[in-house]
Copies of this chain bind each other. A is one copy, B any other.
């Protein structure tokens, strides 16, 4: 029941109204790994780093059951670096620096030892690279989940639509769903996107929760109302990691179980934003996760007696 996770491993510099960090570990695959490893081992990572990526960070992942055979270490280059500054409302941010470094040459190779994985998480990357990973797998995984972003819709929409035909679940935010479908109404957008390939669509709305669409069904998962959002970086990837971790653990890819998986993802994301970077995700225990899941049950639980 292994899970392959493809994405970035990087350094981030982040400024929020609450503080500033110059160089911490980030990247989509890093967040996915920290979230999913609460539920499943191994998480089989595919990524690329430079000569500056710390060995103790690699060891920390290995200790959580993350396999790094698919992580290429480029000896003469630096790791991907991103720097951003959040606005006071924490819902919007400016990207200050994007140094692709090793990412410019990323050509993901699936190691032989990863073949046979049942779950594949395609982090936000150039669509042609996402497709390349799918094509390298000798047996199609039970479930392929794909993240993407508006940037690829702007410059590589045709490639993006090609990958869409190969995946089971698409993860996007509300703005991206509208851009991809050219529909303002999220219900109409979902209906259209579900004709493009994916059988399930998750629309993330940040502090306003997430929607899951499948055939004519819709499920809504709230975000936990938090006293303070300290740093939203990685919340979306953490959500994806929790979602995939729960599905891979239970091996149940029904709509009913995806609803539960979205709540699990939301719970993990609610921890992520409490501290900078992956810091909070490294601390939490199974008891913390269960307590948070119980908060979600309380948050939306109500009785209706239809008369």
A171-208 vs B, Cβ < 8 Å mask (1 yes, 0 no): 00000000000001111100000000000000001001
In the assembled complex, the Cα of A297 lies from the Cα of B220 at a distance in Å of 10
- Give the chain B neighbours of A132 by CB distance below 8 A: none
- Give residues 18-37 of A contacting B (CB, 8 Å): none
Question: In this assembly, does A294 line the interface, its C-beta being within 8 Å of a C-beta of chain B?
Answer: yes
Question: In this assembly, does A219 line the interface, its C-beta being within 8 Å of a C-beta of chain B?
Answer: yes
Asked whether, in the complex, the Cβ of B302 is within 8 Å of the Cβ of A219, the reply is yes
Contact of A294 among B186, B293, B306 (CB under 8 A): B306
Contact of A302 among B186, B187, B259 (CB under 8 A): B259
In the assembled complex, the Cα of A116 lies from the Cα of B124 at a distance in Å of 62
Interface, chain A (partner B; CB < 8 A): 88-89, 184-188, 205, 208-209, 211, 217-222, 225-228, 256, 259-260, 262-263, 286, 290, 293-294, 296-304, 306-307
Beyond A188-B227, A219-B300, list 19 extra A-B contacts (CB 8 Å).
A185-B227, A187-B226, A188-B228, A208-B208, A208-B209, A211-B225, A219-B298, A219-B302, A220-B225, A220-B299, A220-B300, A222-B300, A259-B301, A259-B302, A262-B302, A263-B304, A290-B307, A294-B304, A300-B300
Q: List 12 A-B contacts (CB under 8 A).
A: A188-B228, A205-B208, A219-B298, A220-B222, A220-B299, A222-B222, A222-B300, A256-B302, A256-B303, A259-B301, A259-B303, A262-B302
